[in-house]
Structures are given as structure tokens and as C-alpha cells.
Structure 1
Amino acid sequence: MRRAYYAEVAGRYWKRPATEAEVDAGLRDDPADGLVPPTGQFVVGRLDGVPLSCGGIRVLDPVTAELTRVYVDPRARGTGGGAALLAALEDEARALGAERVRLDTRSDLVEARALYARNGYAEIPAYNSGPYAEHWFEKHLA
């Protein structure tokens, strides 16, 4: 799932398909080390038993968790899988003690931005200076 995620976001950024070597390099440069308890979690969503979505949550501070590597395969878009994935990631954030969830994303990832807005995330001022961050969102957890 992480390969599919990286291939899509890199391909969109470069406006061409990412090569296997580029995907390999991207995964090496962006390890998922922190996406395991007690600092985070990684979730894989399935549709009819087939893995078609994923996302990570990591602790930023005692009350804030961050969504990262959120991906819904094009075959699963429009099925409600994205909302279910966000709900599962928010549950994981609560289990890690978070009261709010933040994320950053790029302008070209329009489906992601729409998904976040539909699910209660509001745009906020920048909270980080990531090289690809162009939009920042936050949601307070109940």
C-alpha cells in the first residue's frame, strides 16, 4: 500500500509516472518507523478483503496526532472507504491520547483535500514547514 501511495503522490508531483527506482528511493527516504505504538499506528483498509487504502497516525505532542501517508486506491474512491479509513485513524489517535488531529497536503491532491473537508477537517495556518506542504488541516476529536 505504501508503494501505491508513493507512486501516486510522486507521479502527480512530477506530472508523469514514477519509476520503480524512484518509488524505492522515496520509500527509503521516508521510513515508517514512527508509525507503531507508542508513537503511532499504521492502518490498512480493505474492500471485499482486498487492501485498497492505508494511512498512518503519529504523535506530535501530548494532545496532537498527525495523519500521514493517507491513500485510497482509485478503485475504492467513492465507496465510503476514505471516510472509514479516517474514522479508524482518528480512533487510533484517541487511543494514543490525542485530542486533535492535524495534517498537511499539497494543492494537487484535490481528492484528499475534499475528503478531509467532508469529514470535519478545517484548514488552519501552517504548523510545519514540510517541503511539499501547501495546505494544513485540523480536526478536534470528541
Structure 2
Amino acid sequence: MRFRAVDVTGAEALSLLDAYFAERAAGFPAEQGEYRPTYPVAEQFTPPAGVFLVVEDDRDDRAEVIGCGGVRRIDSRPGSDEPRFEVKHLWLAPAARGRGAGRRLLDELERRAVAFGARELVLDTNASLAAAGGLYRSSGYAEIEPYNANPNATHWYGKHVG
């Protein structure tokens, strides 16, 4: 498995994000209304402010893109000056799930955020993404108070790093 940084507004990233947003919209809980995708801004995912990665499965001597994810610097917690980064758009193609790629991608995003100076990582997710919530909790993330107003989110997580 390899990770490759790409322009979050480029065709490759947009194709992956389109697939991610389509899957989320199709599975979004009806009682929460309509899923509202937000496409990333390039400046937020350009080093050292952040990075957007594609995941390549390089088994069988050919590289197949199977997912994506990014980290970006956001405002520090109120009352703190510790650099805080947010994990965004962590997604794997359905056929690639269940083989540890999500954990490896999350680990790589954390590693890169720490290299950019992160002391805290945060993320938001939806309760309907049970496997994602399990991944975050088993990776050391704990539930925190909401740090944003994402209408798609029901749970917020944080982790101290660095």
C-alpha cells in the first residue's frame, strides 16, 4: 500500500470525492435531512497547512487507487495555542474495506499532521458510519464537544499527538 499526495482540486481527487459523497448521500439517515457535501479548498490541503492523500493498493504489480483522505490545520481550541489539525474525507472504496487500509491511512494522516506541527487531531463523523467510529475509537480518539457546525455530523472526536 502506498500513499501519494495530490491536489485536492485535481481530477483524481475529485473523482474519489464524488464517489465518497455519492455513497454518503445514498446512505445518509433520512431523519437527518439531506446530505450536504462540501468540497475541499486547495489552500487548506497544501503543505504545511495540510495534505490530501490517495491510497494505492500496489499488490499484483499494479497500483490501483482505492481511497483518499486528508488533514488540514484549523483554529486552535478556545483558550489554547496548540496547533490543531482536522482529519477530513477519509474514504475507501467498498471493495477495499476490511483489510486494514483505513487504519493505515489514518496512521499516515496522523504522521503527516504531526510533521506539520499538530498537537491535537480532531474529526467529525456520523453515527451511521459505525465502522468509522470504531476505527477512530480504537485508534485513540475520544468523543469531544462539537468543534464545528457540520450539519452531516453527529459525533466529534479528538486525540492529542506530537
Q: TM-score range by the shorter chain?
A: 0.7 to 0.9
Q: What code does the residue aligned with 1:47 have?
A: D
Confirm or deny that 1:90 pairs with 2:104: no
Kept in 1, the 8 Å contact 2:29–2:128? The answer is no
Q: What code does the residue aligned with 1:66 have?
A: E
Gaps of 5+ in 1: 16-24
Gaps of 5+ in 2: 1-15, 31-35, 76-81
Question: How many residue pairs get matched?
Answer: 131
Alignment correspondent of 2:66: 52
Of the three residues 26, 41, 44, the one matched with 1:32 is 41
Identity %: 40
Confirm or deny that 1:107 pairs with 2:142: no
Alignment correspondent of 1:21: none
CA distance in 2: counterparts of 1:120 and 1:72, whole angstroms? 20
CA distance in 2: counterparts of 1:38 and 1:93, whole angstroms? 9
Runs of 4+, deviation exceeding 4 Å: none
RMSD: 1.8
| TM norm structure 2 | 0.74
Kept in 2, the 8 Å contact 1:122–1:139? The answer is yes
CA distance in 2: counterparts of 1:54 and 1:121, whole angstroms? 20
| TM norm structure 1 | 0.83
1:14 CA drift (Å)? 6.2
